[in-house]
Structure 1
Amino acid sequence: MLAYHQRSKHQFQRYAAGPDGMDWNSQPDPFRTYAGSPRLELPLLDASAGPGYAELYQQPSIAPQPLDLNSLAALLQLSFGISAWKQYDETRWALRCNPSSGNLHPTEAYVVAQGCFGLVDGVHHYVSRDHLLEQRCRFADVERVLPTNVFLLGLTSIHWREAWKYGERAFRYCQHDVGHAIAAVRYAAAALGWTVKLLDSWSDVEIGRVLGTDRSEDNVQAEREHPDILLQVSPLTGTEAVKPEKLLRASGAGGWLGQANTLSVYHMHDWPAIDEVAAACTKPETQESTWQASKLPEPLNSSCILSAIEIIQQRRSAQSFDGIGSIPINVFFRMLDMTLPRPGIPPWDEISWAPRIDLVLFVHRVDGLEPGLYLFLRNAERGDTLRTLFSKEFEWKRVDGCPAHLPLFRLVAADMRDAARALSCHQEIAADGAFSLGMLAEHEASLALGPWVYRQLFWEAGMLGQVLYLEAEAAGVRGTGIGCFFDDGVHEALGLQGNRMQSLYHFTIGVPLTDTRLQTLPAYGHLKR
């Protein structure tokens, strides 16, 4: 796993191993389907309803909607559904509510349900293109395996979808996408007044057996799916975490249906390093984590008047920025504030580990804040450690006027646009926005807990990305993730040595430019419902 991380780094003198060019004839099908599985068409969401985006962060929380087929369909549409289609000449492609590196979408979603009216008890695969569920497993008439008003949402990754374009670095991007999806589910659930809990004690083997990804007979020529997580979703609070035993019996005795489709007719390249790191990061069964976030002041105010549904469905990845526009400092503070975990506040109440990632910020155009290099501590206890690890030339100046609960430090006052551009693989978008950032993870200490935590680090980074995506939309600007950056170049710029801290993901926010050549089409205009 450590060897993979090193070899998948981009360096100034060379990029990580990847294809020499795009083989469009083997481009993966963006939608997995199961031939022979019974299909259930889902009702489409009424986008005119729902709470305001700012209400998602207020307590007491939004009144929960009952768990039925309509609300389940709404959760799936807001988490993984199509948000729009784009078209240029004869080429057409889908955008989804959950972002993905290169819009390649390696993440698949499964519903495990019992007692939901209109839905057969069992395991179902979600097809976002058609907004429907494919029945993969029908539970026999067995004991109650899920608590009342609880269902599970399982996520898996098809690594090939990302590897087709990005080669060995693709495993990282798949984990980012899992993190984006975790947060997307939590935001969608919050709009329904529901709670979500990541079942962190389950092993990958147990998840694979329940979701059916271990069934080689159903995936004869299909690209393999790797089990990632199970999320427990409920309109109730305080429900006890579901244990594996009963569900394993139910799925083992159930009737399985369907054959997975092949995504590419051939693979020009295979990347054994991805299979090796996936095996090395396999998670065993562990104890359930008991960490809880400390109480903080109420989230800083948002001026957004749009609904949660509008913000979620209008989210886009910016392709370029105008290089001129700025954001107010209070908006900047609000964005940082929403990256901090609070009890009962999405999306961070979904996971149960302390923040392992801090933010290194390249500030370009924030009104009232001097351009420069900044550090935001999401875990204030790491401050003393980072002072010893970072360059001795940094000034560590607290930002005037910054709320006391936001540990924001200026390291260097300077024009950082050239540095941000260079470190993000010479991409202009890192310099043309209001700010860009690197997500710096406590790498060695985290991996000491177990090699599977490597994936969790990227999940946390993806969750941060999703928070920033939605906060950018709420502020009237736009964000985008940056997966291409020079890893060790970032570390050297900070004065870091060794592997104690590692940069895992970059992100940038600014005023977007619109490509007027592209036509935007409705998400589900092709459906007759």
Structure 2
Amino acid sequence: MFVSPSSAAELPAAADIALAYHVRTKHSLKRYAAGPETLDWDAQPNPFREFAGSPRVNLPLTSDRLAASFAEACDGTAPIQPFTIDNVALLLELSFGLAAWKEYGPDRWALRCNPSSGNLHPTEAYVISESIAGLTDGVYHYLSRDHVLERRCRRDASPTGQPLLWLGLSSIHWREAWKYGERAFRYCQLDLGHALGAISYAAAALGWHARVIDGIDSAALAAIMGLDRTGDFAGVEAEDADVLLAISPRDIATPTRPELPRPATIADEWKGQANRLDRHPLYRWPVISEVSAATAGEGHDVVPAAPSPPALPSRSQARATELILNRRSAQRFDAKFTMDRTAFHQMLDTLLPRTTTPWTTWPFATRLHPLLFVHRIDGLTPGLYALPRSDNAEADLRRALRPDFDWQRVEGAPDHLPLFHLLPTDSRGVIRTASCHQAIAGDSCFAVAMLAEFAPLVSDNPWRYRQLHWEAGLIGQVLYLEAEASGLRGTGIGCFFDESVHEMLGIVTADFQTLYQFTVGRPLTDDRITTQPAYPGRTRNEAGVLP
């Protein structure tokens, strides 16, 4: 295993900071984690970062042309599209673009393809291109509001001529901290996991692979993305460099570790000044900067190749673009609706690690294991269930959870699906209470608590604190899209009483911790909220290429 470049003497201190932050930011029935005492929604930070002085490339909107089905995107059979500016635009449209505008009375807000805690969107996307048809080699920032690329850096032509593409992701922590205070760092990391999933599905719909490049130090990644250029961010909110993904056509064999962009040179031409998002911040949360610094670094896992059972075939006939663009977070659920058991098994099956979308994106060992609070699944006894997602997880979970759980394999489930019944119970009330009293947790068909292998990993390498949240967010993105494919909807729940959930499960140490919750059911819609097009007034194929 690679560890962060910090010296051995520094590691314990960094790990202590990460573990202490996690404890400090737990919600409980007696108190919530520290956050703002009041919110002025009229003073919400600007949800869109942009760079004044950066030349812009208008991108076409072509999602209506892509015929690949969601099933083809999932099983890796979608037709392979060429590397061109139009298809890079489509990748961005389906992963980070706007899906719609919503209006309610005088209020208007944007929805994006990648879900975000509180719809605050701390994640920023950067394109690094070499020899892409129609796109000058360089580093670009994607501005989702306008569906344009802002060219941050122009580079000399690629010496190889082979089309190469990377996406770099960063976080602006203040966007979440404005509303959620100290717990915001967690939500930023969960959002990154959702973004990884959004990229993976969008790339697969184009016949491409997206793979996280592991083992990159945070400082090196910041240099690749231009986030270390302090003058370009003077007096504005900083961005944390988080992760780099290599994008490649599916018919090109992806090496174990994809190559990195070419090193910077003095001939690179950088332009652009980042905008200020919040001119009058009312609060400061220094603990976020502390945990960010403590968890900077890198990680690498040696994941042995192992045979995996074939995935259950998708039952969705929807086009991938329609399903992705119509994904929404449910606000309310029909508390009387019962979910089909086969659809439930199908949804859980997609959470198992395989060499299919989106798990081809994830180069790390499996560390997250869903605990399922089943309320209304046809043919299943209401109660608590477990889905260990790795070979060793069942034994470890048996030791960590309550000794009176029965751990019986679920009859009628596919033989390869490691679904265990733990306890028959009506958990609607307790999971609603534990989910910060949110009705969606109890009114759903089922709710999920994502349990992470925790303290030993974070103690060994504090960067794992970020990675564990990314995996939780990635699982959440799978559930979002699979719920849509089943005619249902999902909602991520970041607000929960950590120790109340642990008490229900019998967890008494930090070896396992719950990092995220999720819920799935049939949505109830609010007809008072109207939907407007994502890019009103834009015509198809309205693109522009910079010299």
TM-score w.r.t. the length of structure 1 is 0.96
Is 2:141 the partner of 1:128?
no
Instruction: Look up the match of 1:153.
Output: 167
Instruction: Look up the match of 1:34.
Output: 51
Q: 2:262 aligns with which of 210, 226, 247?
A: 247
Distance change (3 Å), C-alpha of 1:48 and 1:253 = closer
Structure showing greater relative contact order (alpha-carbon pairs closer than 8 Å, 6 or more residues apart): 2
Distance change (3 Å), C-alpha of 1:438 and 1:399 = same
Gaps of 5+ in 2: 1-17, 543-547
Within 1, Cα distance between the matches of 2:348 and 2:271? 46
Instruction: Look up the match of 1:50.
Output: 67
Amino-acid identity (%): 50
Instruction: Look up the match of 2:434.
Output: 423
After the TM superposition, which segments of 4 or more aligned residues of structure 1 sit over 6 Å from their partners?
none
Within 2, Cα distance between the matches of 1:24 and 1:514? 23
| CA shift for structure 1 position 139 | 1.1
Gaps of 5+ in 1: none
Letter in 2 for 1:319: Q
Within 1, Cα distance between the matches of 2:253 and 2:397? 37
| CA shift for structure 1 position 295 | 2.4
User: Contact 2:194–2:474 (CA<8 Å) still a contact in 1?
Assistant: yes
Q: Deviations over 1:357-402 (max 9, x none)?
A: 1011110010010100111111131111211221111111111111
Q: Secondary structure at the match of 2:470?
A: helix
| CA shift for structure 1 position 307 | 0.7
| Structure 1 residues 191-270: aligned runs within 5 Å | 191-235=205-249, 236-240=251-255, 241-244=257-260, 247-250=262-265, 253-270=267-284
Q: Secondary structure at the match of 1:178?
A: helix
Is 2:325 the partner of 1:299?
no
Q: 2:87 aligns with which of 65, 71, 84?
A: 71
Instruction: Look up the match of 1:445.
Output: 456
Distance change (3 Å), C-alpha of 1:352 and 1:91 = same
| CA shift for structure 1 position 339 | 0.5
Q: 2:31 aligns with which of 4, 11, 14?
A: 14
Instruction: Look up the match of 2:502.
Output: 491
| CA shift for structure 1 position 47 | 1.7
User: Contact 2:138–2:152 (CA<8 Å) still a contact in 1?
Assistant: yes
| CA shift for structure 1 position 71 | 0.6
Q: Deviations over 1:58-77 (max 9, x none)?
A: 35x32311000111000000
User: Contact 2:131–2:164 (CA<8 Å) still a contact in 1?
Assistant: no
Instruction: Look up the match of 1:327.
Output: 339
| CA shift for structure 1 position 462 | 0.4
| Structure 1 residues 314-463: aligned runs within 5 Å | 314-343=326-355, 345-463=356-474
Is 2:108 the partner of 1:92?
yes
Q: Secondary structure at the match of 2:220?
A: helix
Within 2, Cα distance between the matches of 1:98 and 1:281? 24
Distance change (3 Å), C-alpha of 1:493 and 1:169 = same
Instruction: Look up the match of 2:8.
Output: none
Number of residue pairs matched? 521
| CA shift for structure 1 position 293 | 5.3
Between 11-20 and 230-239, report the one with greater CA deviation: 230-239
Within 2, Cα distance between the matches of 1:200 and 1:253? 28
User: Contact 1:326–1:433 (CA<8 Å) still a contact in 2?
Assistant: no
User: How large is the Cα RMSD of the aligned pairs?
Assistant: 1.5
Letter in 2 for 1:279: A
Between 95-104 and 213-222, report the one with greater CA deviation: 213-222
Q: 2:477 aligns with which of 466, 476, 479?
A: 466
Within 2, Cα distance between the matches of 1:489 and 1:377? 21
Q: Secondary structure at the match of 1:323?
A: coil
